[in-house]
Chains A and B, each alone.
Chain A
Amino acid sequence: MIKVQREDFDIGAELARLTDGNTKIGGLATFVGLVRDLAEKGEVSAMTLEHYAGMTEKRLAEIEAEARSRWPLEGVLIIHRYGRLEPGDRIVLVATTSSHRQAALESCAFLIDWLKTKAPFWKLEEGAKGTAWVEARESDDQAAEKWKR
């Protein structure tokens, strides 16, 4: 399931919804991304996430389908926020469930690595020296590259 939303999410409630009623699930893996206050150019007082509505949902659904084709998963949940966020705020939740832990853990890592390089989101950081668009990192490309096949 894909959710692209401005509002915060309740991790406990979301994970309960993902697992409740399915006793085939033996493992649940999660990743939660948060706004950090240490950017490369000093402190960050806030950031604004922009996205391409329409394309975002399609690309996230495609990434979910790719994960399901690679691992035997019971459930997939991706929640990604947009709008203005402050340090400590939740940005993204990726959760996967499977009968076994390995599929859940690996697919969760795959999803966040691929999401970072494929989903059309952009971060604008606000700091003491004004605003700056976050540059893409080569390390993120390398992290995604290792899942290519």
Chain B
Amino acid sequence: MKLLYFAWVRTNIGKAEEELVAPDHVQDVEGLLDWLATLGPHYAAALDRRNVVKVAINHEYVEHNHPVRPDDEIALFPPVTGG
């Protein structure tokens, strides 16, 4: 899957995007965030405020119980502050 990071999620993790292959037990957004947080301290720090992180799959907002698939583009970011 393709992961994209924005704003402080990006600056904490230290990269804007990456291709990752999640283990089979990662079935939904919550599972994905749990797994990402184990990839290193930067990931853990970025995902520390778990309930604040917004998720979009293929450009659509989703809840944390939404399923994830290997060919998804998944973006993680803080609440938006445009306008």
Most buried by A among B11, B56, B75, B83: B83
A54-B59, A119-B80, A133-B78 given. 5 additional CB < 8 A pairs?
Answer: A50-B7, A52-B6, A116-B82, A121-B82, A122-B77
**Docked-complex contact B83 and A50, CB < 8 angstroms:** no
Say what secondary structure dominates the interface of chain A.
mixed
* Chain A residues closer than 8 Å to B8, beta-carbon distance: 133
Which single member of A55, A115, A135 contacts B83 (CB below 8 Å)? A115
Q: What is the count of residue pairs linking A and B with beta-carbon distances less than 8 angstroms?
A: 70
Which single member of B4, B7, B75, B83 contacts A124 (CB below 8 Å)? B7
User: A interface vs B, CB < 8 Å?
Assistant: 33, 49-52, 54-55, 58-59, 80, 91-92, 112, 115-124, 133-136, 140
Q: Which of B49-83 contact A (CB under 8 A)?
A: 56, 59, 61, 75, 77-83
CA distance A42 to B6 in the complex (A): 24
CA distance A120 to B79 in the complex (A): 8
**Docked-complex contact A50 and B6, CB < 8 angstroms:** yes
**Docked-complex contact B56 and A55, CB < 8 angstroms:** yes
